Amino acid sequence: MTEEISNISLSFKCPADYAAMQDVEGGKFCTICQKQVHDFTNSKADYFRQIMAENGNNVCGRFLPSQMAAPYVSKPLWKKWVAAAMILLGFNLAAEKVVAQSKIKSDKQTVTNKSELVCDDDEDLTLGIVFSPQPEFPGGEKQWELFLKKNLKYIKAASGKRLFTSFVVKVAM
C-alpha cells in the first residue's frame, strides 16, 4: 500500500534539535532520551506501522505538519453550559404532565336560584358573543308535534317518500 502517513498524535512534543543529533542507520540518535529517532517525513504508512510493531508502539519520530492530527479545539465553557441547560430544559418540558392527561378537580356547585349566582373572581367568567335565542313553539316540543299531527294532511300516494316543508316564524315583539 502506498498511503501517506496521516493523523499522527504525539504523547509529547520533543524539544531536542534534530539537526544536532548523531546520524545512524534509519534516522538519528537522541542523546537526551537514548533512543533512535526515525525520519518519517518521506515515509509511507506501511513503513510507519512496521517500525511501530518492531518497537512495541513506542517510537520517536520526525513528522511533517501535514502528517499530524489536527489539534483538539475545545469549545468555550459557556457554550457547554448553554448546551447542558438546553438539554435539561428539554427533559423538564417532556416530563410535564399534559392537561389532557389528568382529571380536573371541580369544586363547582349547582345553583337552583340563579339570582343568588355571584362570581367571586374573574377566572370563572366566560366572554363571548350572544346570539338571539332560537324561536320556540308555545308550549314546547310536545305541543309542536300535536300541532303538526292536527294540521298536516298526508297523501296516501306519497307514503314512504320524502316530504319537504317550510315554515315562517313570526316573532312577537
Query: CA-to-CA distance for 60 and 73, rounded, in angstroms?
Result: 25
The full length of the chain comes to: 173
Number of domains, the chain: 1
Look up the domain containing 61 and give its range.
Answer: 1-70
Phi and psi, residue 28, nearest 5°: -135, 165
Predicted pLDDT of residue 93: 76
Helix, strand, coil distribution of the chain in percent, nearest 5? 30, 10, 55
Would you place residue 15 in the very low, low, confident or very high pLDDT band (cuts 50, 70, 90)?
confident
Q: Tell me, yes or no, whether 106 lies in a domain.
A: no
Query: CA-to-CA distance for 144 and 138, rounded, in angstroms?
Result: 8
Q: Tell me, yes or no, whether 27 lies in a domain.
A: yes
Q: What percent of the chain has pLDDT over 70?
A: 73
Q: Tell me, yes or no, whether 35 lies in a domain.
A: yes
As given in the structure block, the three cell numbers for residue 76 are: 468555550
pTM: 0.40
Q: Tell me, yes or no, whether 77 lies in a domain.
A: no
Predicted pLDDT of residue 98: 66
Q: Note the pLDDT tens digit of each residue in 58-74.
A: 888 888 888 877 777 77
Predicted pLDDT of residue 89: 85
Q: Tell me, yes or no, whether 80 lies in a domain.
A: no
Q: Tell me, yes or no, whether 43 lies in a domain.
A: yes
Query: CA-to-CA distance for 61 and 26, rounded, in angstroms?
Result: 11
Q: Note the pLDDT tens digit of each residue in 101-144.
A: 666 676 766 666 666 656 555 565 555 665 556 677 788 889 98
What stretch of H or E contains 39? strand 35-39
Q: Note the pLDDT tens digit of each residue in 21-50.
A: 889 988 889 888 888 888 888 888 888 888
Q: Note the pLDDT tens digit of each residue in 73-82.
A: 777 888 888 8
Mean pLDDT confidence for 2-12? 77
Q: Tell me, yes or no, whether 12 lies in a domain.
A: yes
